[in-house]
Chain A
Protein backbone atom coordinates (compact mmCIF):
# COMPACT_ATOMS: atom_id res chain seq x y z
CA UNK A 1 0.00 0.00 0.00
CA UNK A 2 1.31 3.34 -0.96
CA UNK A 3 1.88 5.69 1.96
CA UNK A 4 0.51 9.17 1.22
CA UNK A 5 2.72 11.98 2.30
CA UNK A 6 0.66 14.64 4.11
CA UNK A 7 1.66 18.17 3.31
CA UNK A 8 1.58 20.34 6.44
CA UNK A 9 -0.40 23.58 6.07
CA UNK A 10 0.86 26.50 8.05
CA UNK A 11 -1.86 28.12 10.13
CA UNK A 12 -1.65 31.89 10.04
CA UNK A 13 -4.03 34.81 10.34
CA UNK A 14 -3.56 37.34 7.55
CA UNK A 15 -2.61 40.57 9.29
CA UNK A 16 -1.34 42.54 6.33
CA UNK A 17 -4.42 44.79 6.24
CA UNK A 18 -4.58 45.30 10.02
CA UNK A 19 -2.48 48.46 9.89
CA UNK A 20 -4.72 49.92 7.16
CA UNK A 21 -7.85 49.23 9.21
CA UNK A 22 -6.29 50.57 12.41
CA UNK A 23 -5.16 53.81 10.80
CA UNK A 24 -8.52 54.22 9.07
CA UNK A 25 -10.19 53.99 12.49
CA UNK A 26 -7.69 56.45 13.98
CA UNK A 27 -8.39 58.98 11.23
CA UNK A 28 -12.16 58.51 11.66
CA UNK A 29 -11.98 59.20 15.40
CA UNK A 30 -9.54 62.09 14.92
CA UNK A 31 -11.91 63.76 12.45
CA UNK A 32 -15.09 63.16 14.44
CA UNK A 33 -13.70 63.88 17.91
CA UNK A 34 -15.01 67.07 19.44
CA UNK A 35 -13.34 68.06 22.66
CA UNK A 36 -16.39 69.65 24.23
CA UNK A 37 -15.90 72.41 26.76
CA UNK A 38 -18.88 71.21 28.76
CA UNK A 39 -19.83 67.61 29.45
CA UNK A 40 -22.63 68.33 31.89
CA UNK A 41 -25.51 65.97 31.27
CA UNK A 42 -28.72 67.93 30.77
CA UNK A 43 -32.02 66.90 29.28
CA UNK A 44 -32.21 69.40 26.42
CA UNK A 45 -35.56 70.57 25.04
CA UNK A 46 -36.52 69.35 21.58
CA UNK A 47 -36.94 71.40 18.42
CA UNK A 48 -37.48 70.65 14.74
CA UNK A 49 -35.48 73.61 13.46
CA UNK A 50 -31.85 73.59 14.53
CA UNK A 51 -28.91 75.69 13.42
CA UNK A 52 -25.29 74.57 13.69
CA UNK A 53 -23.44 76.04 16.67
CA UNK A 54 -20.24 77.79 15.52
CA UNK A 55 -17.01 76.32 16.87
CA UNK A 56 -15.55 78.12 19.87
CA UNK A 57 -18.92 79.44 21.06
CA UNK A 58 -19.26 80.31 24.74
CA UNK A 59 -21.49 77.94 26.70
CA UNK A 60 -23.72 78.65 29.68
CA UNK A 61 -25.14 75.52 31.25
CA UNK A 62 -28.16 75.43 33.53
CA UNK A 63 -28.88 72.08 35.16
CA UNK A 64 -32.24 70.91 36.50
CA UNK A 65 -31.19 71.94 40.03
CA UNK A 66 -30.32 75.38 38.58
CA UNK A 67 -26.55 75.05 38.96
CA UNK A 68 -24.84 77.34 36.43
CA UNK A 69 -21.62 76.75 34.52
CA UNK A 70 -19.74 78.98 32.11
CA UNK A 71 -17.10 78.47 29.44
CA UNK A 72 -15.79 81.15 27.12
CA UNK A 73 -15.40 78.50 24.42
CA UNK A 74 -11.76 77.53 24.86
CA UNK A 75 -11.52 76.29 28.43
CA UNK A 76 -13.42 73.62 30.37
CA UNK A 77 -16.64 74.99 31.88
CA UNK A 78 -16.62 75.99 35.54
CA UNK A 79 -19.36 76.55 38.10
CA UNK A 80 -20.48 80.12 38.70
CA UNK A 81 -22.28 81.10 41.87
CA UNK A 82 -24.90 83.43 40.37
CA UNK A 83 -26.10 84.93 37.09
CA UNK A 84 -24.53 88.24 38.16
CA UNK A 85 -21.05 86.79 37.51
CA UNK A 86 -22.07 86.28 33.89
CA UNK A 87 -22.01 89.98 33.04
CA UNK A 88 -18.25 90.38 33.54
CA UNK A 89 -17.43 86.96 32.06
CA UNK A 90 -19.56 87.55 28.95
CA UNK A 91 -18.40 91.16 28.59
CA UNK A 92 -14.78 89.97 28.45
CA UNK A 93 -15.64 87.67 25.53
CA UNK A 94 -17.70 90.34 23.76
CA UNK A 95 -14.79 92.82 24.11
CA UNK A 96 -12.61 90.41 22.09
CA UNK A 97 -15.30 89.69 19.48
CA UNK A 98 -18.60 91.55 19.47
CA UNK A 99 -20.27 88.73 17.49
CA UNK A 100 -19.00 85.93 19.74
CA UNK A 101 -21.88 83.40 19.87
CA UNK A 102 -23.25 82.33 23.25
CA UNK A 103 -24.94 78.97 23.66
CA UNK A 104 -27.55 78.48 26.38
CA UNK A 105 -27.51 74.80 27.32
CA UNK A 106 -30.39 74.52 29.75
CA UNK A 107 -32.44 71.56 30.94
CA UNK A 108 -35.91 71.59 29.38
CA UNK A 109 -37.63 71.24 32.76
CA UNK A 110 -35.83 74.18 34.38
CA UNK A 111 -38.15 77.10 35.29
CA UNK A 112 -37.95 79.83 32.65
CA UNK A 113 -36.90 82.34 35.34
CA UNK A 114 -33.38 80.82 35.38
CA UNK A 115 -33.03 81.10 31.59
CA UNK A 116 -34.52 84.61 31.64
CA UNK A 117 -31.91 85.72 34.19
CA UNK A 118 -29.09 84.34 32.05
CA UNK A 119 -30.45 85.95 28.86
CA UNK A 120 -30.87 89.25 30.68
CA UNK A 121 -27.26 89.26 31.92
CA UNK A 122 -26.00 88.31 28.46
CA UNK A 123 -27.96 91.16 26.90
CA UNK A 124 -26.52 93.54 29.50
CA UNK A 125 -23.02 92.32 28.58
CA UNK A 126 -23.70 93.23 24.93
CA UNK A 127 -24.08 89.70 23.55
CA UNK A 128 -25.67 89.76 20.09
CA UNK A 129 -25.85 86.13 19.04
CA UNK A 130 -27.53 83.56 21.27
CA UNK A 131 -28.28 79.94 20.52
CA UNK A 132 -30.65 77.84 22.60
CA UNK A 133 -29.17 74.35 22.45
CA UNK A 134 -31.74 71.68 21.59
CA UNK A 135 -32.00 68.06 20.58
CA UNK A 136 -33.65 67.01 17.35
CA UNK A 137 -37.40 66.57 17.51
CA UNK A 138 -38.73 64.08 14.99
CA UNK A 139 -41.74 64.93 12.89
CA UNK A 140 -44.06 62.63 14.89
CA UNK A 141 -43.09 64.52 18.03
CA UNK A 142 -40.92 61.81 19.59
Chain B
Protein backbone atom coordinates (compact mmCIF):
# COMPACT_ATOMS: atom_id res chain seq x y z
CA UNK B 1 0.00 0.00 0.00
CA UNK B 2 1.24 3.37 -0.98
CA UNK B 3 1.75 5.70 1.93
CA UNK B 4 0.65 9.13 0.79
CA UNK B 5 2.23 12.00 2.63
CA UNK B 6 -0.34 14.70 3.49
CA UNK B 7 0.77 18.18 2.61
CA UNK B 8 -0.48 20.75 5.10
CA UNK B 9 -1.97 23.93 3.63
CA UNK B 10 -1.73 27.07 5.71
CA UNK B 11 -5.08 28.86 6.04
CA UNK B 12 -4.51 32.54 5.45
CA UNK B 13 -6.56 35.49 4.30
CA UNK B 14 -4.53 37.46 1.79
CA UNK B 15 -4.28 40.92 3.25
CA UNK B 16 -1.42 42.36 1.26
CA UNK B 17 -3.77 44.50 -0.87
CA UNK B 18 -5.77 45.80 2.11
CA UNK B 19 -3.48 48.78 2.58
CA UNK B 20 -3.85 49.70 -1.10
CA UNK B 21 -7.65 49.55 -0.87
CA UNK B 22 -7.73 51.47 2.40
CA UNK B 23 -5.53 54.26 1.10
CA UNK B 24 -7.49 54.39 -2.15
CA UNK B 25 -10.64 54.98 -0.09
CA UNK B 26 -8.89 57.62 2.01
CA UNK B 27 -7.76 59.48 -1.09
CA UNK B 28 -11.28 59.24 -2.58
CA UNK B 29 -12.91 60.73 0.52
CA UNK B 30 -10.21 63.39 0.87
CA UNK B 31 -10.78 64.52 -2.72
CA UNK B 32 -14.58 64.47 -2.57
CA UNK B 33 -14.96 65.99 0.89
CA UNK B 34 -16.24 69.54 0.86
CA UNK B 35 -16.50 71.32 4.16
CA UNK B 36 -19.23 73.55 2.86
CA UNK B 37 -21.00 76.49 4.45
CA UNK B 38 -24.19 74.96 5.79
CA UNK B 39 -25.53 77.73 7.96
CA UNK B 40 -27.40 80.92 7.36
CA UNK B 41 -30.14 83.32 8.40
CA UNK B 42 -33.50 81.57 8.44
CA UNK B 43 -36.85 83.27 8.14
CA UNK B 44 -40.38 82.03 7.79
CA UNK B 45 -42.66 83.39 5.11
CA UNK B 46 -46.19 83.80 6.53
CA UNK B 47 -48.73 81.51 4.90
CA UNK B 48 -51.31 83.26 2.73
CA UNK B 49 -54.21 82.20 4.98
CA UNK B 50 -52.42 83.47 8.10
CA UNK B 51 -50.81 86.54 6.60
CA UNK B 52 -51.88 89.88 7.95
CA UNK B 53 -51.52 93.04 5.99
CA UNK B 54 -49.21 95.36 7.86
CA UNK B 55 -50.00 99.03 7.66
CA UNK B 56 -46.73 100.92 7.21
CA UNK B 57 -47.72 103.50 9.84
CA UNK B 58 -48.06 100.70 12.47
CA UNK B 59 -44.64 99.31 11.70
CA UNK B 60 -41.04 100.44 11.91
CA UNK B 61 -39.71 100.91 8.40
CA UNK B 62 -36.03 100.26 7.81
CA UNK B 63 -34.88 101.35 4.39
CA UNK B 64 -31.49 100.41 3.02
CA UNK B 65 -30.38 102.83 0.32
CA UNK B 66 -28.33 102.06 -2.76
CA UNK B 67 -25.28 103.46 -0.90
CA UNK B 68 -26.02 100.99 2.00
CA UNK B 69 -27.01 103.92 4.28
CA UNK B 70 -29.91 103.17 6.61
CA UNK B 71 -33.04 105.20 7.13
CA UNK B 72 -35.28 104.17 10.03
CA UNK B 73 -38.76 105.72 10.01
CA UNK B 74 -37.38 108.43 7.74
CA UNK B 75 -34.34 109.30 9.87
CA UNK B 76 -30.78 108.37 8.90
CA UNK B 77 -29.31 105.89 11.37
CA UNK B 78 -26.22 103.74 11.85
CA UNK B 79 -26.66 99.97 12.06
CA UNK B 80 -25.50 99.99 15.70
CA UNK B 81 -28.36 102.29 16.67
CA UNK B 82 -31.19 100.24 15.19
CA UNK B 83 -31.77 97.91 18.14
CA UNK B 84 -31.56 100.78 20.62
CA UNK B 85 -34.22 102.61 18.58
CA UNK B 86 -36.43 99.50 18.49
CA UNK B 87 -36.04 98.61 22.20
CA UNK B 88 -38.72 100.95 23.68
CA UNK B 89 -41.15 100.22 20.85
CA UNK B 90 -40.75 96.45 21.29
CA UNK B 91 -41.05 96.77 25.08
CA UNK B 92 -44.50 98.31 24.56
CA UNK B 93 -45.49 95.91 21.79
CA UNK B 94 -43.38 92.76 21.28
CA UNK B 95 -45.30 92.06 18.06
CA UNK B 96 -44.38 95.41 16.52
CA UNK B 97 -43.66 94.65 12.88
CA UNK B 98 -40.41 95.79 11.33
CA UNK B 99 -40.49 96.21 7.57
CA UNK B 100 -37.16 95.81 5.85
CA UNK B 101 -37.03 97.46 2.46
CA UNK B 102 -33.86 97.34 0.42
CA UNK B 103 -33.07 99.43 -2.61
CA UNK B 104 -32.76 97.14 -5.66
CA UNK B 105 -29.35 98.66 -6.41
CA UNK B 106 -27.98 98.10 -2.89
CA UNK B 107 -25.55 95.20 -2.45
CA UNK B 108 -27.09 92.06 -0.97
CA UNK B 109 -24.67 92.03 2.00
CA UNK B 110 -26.18 95.29 3.27
CA UNK B 111 -29.56 93.59 3.67
CA UNK B 112 -27.93 90.56 5.35
CA UNK B 113 -26.15 92.86 7.83
CA UNK B 114 -29.44 94.45 8.91
CA UNK B 115 -31.25 91.10 8.98
CA UNK B 116 -28.43 89.68 11.16
CA UNK B 117 -28.74 92.62 13.56
CA UNK B 118 -32.53 92.18 13.81
CA UNK B 119 -32.25 88.42 14.38
CA UNK B 120 -29.90 89.11 17.29
CA UNK B 121 -32.49 91.45 18.80
CA UNK B 122 -34.13 88.78 20.93
CA UNK B 123 -30.89 87.97 22.77
CA UNK B 124 -29.47 91.48 22.96
CA UNK B 125 -32.69 93.20 24.07
CA UNK B 126 -33.76 90.17 26.17
CA UNK B 127 -37.10 89.98 24.39
CA UNK B 128 -39.58 87.17 24.91
CA UNK B 129 -39.81 86.50 21.18
CA UNK B 130 -38.02 87.18 17.93
CA UNK B 131 -38.50 90.55 16.26
CA UNK B 132 -41.35 90.33 13.76
CA UNK B 133 -39.44 91.18 10.58
CA UNK B 134 -41.24 91.41 7.26
CA UNK B 135 -39.19 91.40 4.07
CA UNK B 136 -41.64 92.39 1.36
CA UNK B 137 -40.43 92.01 -2.19
CA UNK B 138 -40.46 94.96 -4.58
CA UNK B 139 -43.60 93.59 -6.26
CA UNK B 140 -45.42 93.23 -2.92
CA UNK B 141 -44.42 96.76 -1.89
CA UNK B 142 -45.83 98.19 -5.09
CA UNK B 143 -48.98 96.06 -5.03
CA UNK B 144 -49.84 96.52 -1.35
CA UNK B 145 -48.60 99.96 -0.53
CA UNK B 146 -47.80 101.55 -3.87
CA UNK B 147 -44.14 101.88 -2.83
CA UNK B 148 -42.95 102.83 0.64
CA UNK B 149 -40.13 105.25 0.03
Contact = CB atoms under 8 A, between A and B. Distances in A.
Interface of A: 15, 18-19, 22-23, 25-26, 29-30, 32-36, 39, 44-53, 101, 103, 106-117, 119-120, 122-123, 126-137
B40 A53 contact: yes
Given A29-B30, A130-B45, 16 more contacts: A18-B19, A23-B22, A26-B22, A34-B35, A39-B34, A45-B108, A45-B113, A48-B116, A108-B109, A110-B107, A111-B106, A112-B103, A116-B138, A123-B137, A129-B44, A134-B116
B120 interface: yes
A47 B111 contact: no
Q: Is the interface of B mostly helix, strand, loop or mixed?
A: mixed
Residue in B19, B26, B38, B106 whose Cβ sees the most chain A Cβ within 10 Å: B38
B2 to A, nearest CB: 43
B140 interface: yes
Residue in A22, A25, A112 whose Cβ sees the most chain B Cβ within 10 Å: A112
Q: 9 tightest A-B contacts by CB?
A: A29-B29, A113-B104, A108-B109, A50-B39, A22-B22, A120-B137, A45-B109, A47-B116, A45-B112
Nearest to A51: B42
Residue in A106, A114, A116, A130 whose Cβ sees the most chain B Cβ within 10 Å: A116
Given A32-B33, A45-B108, A130-B43, A26 B26 contact: yes
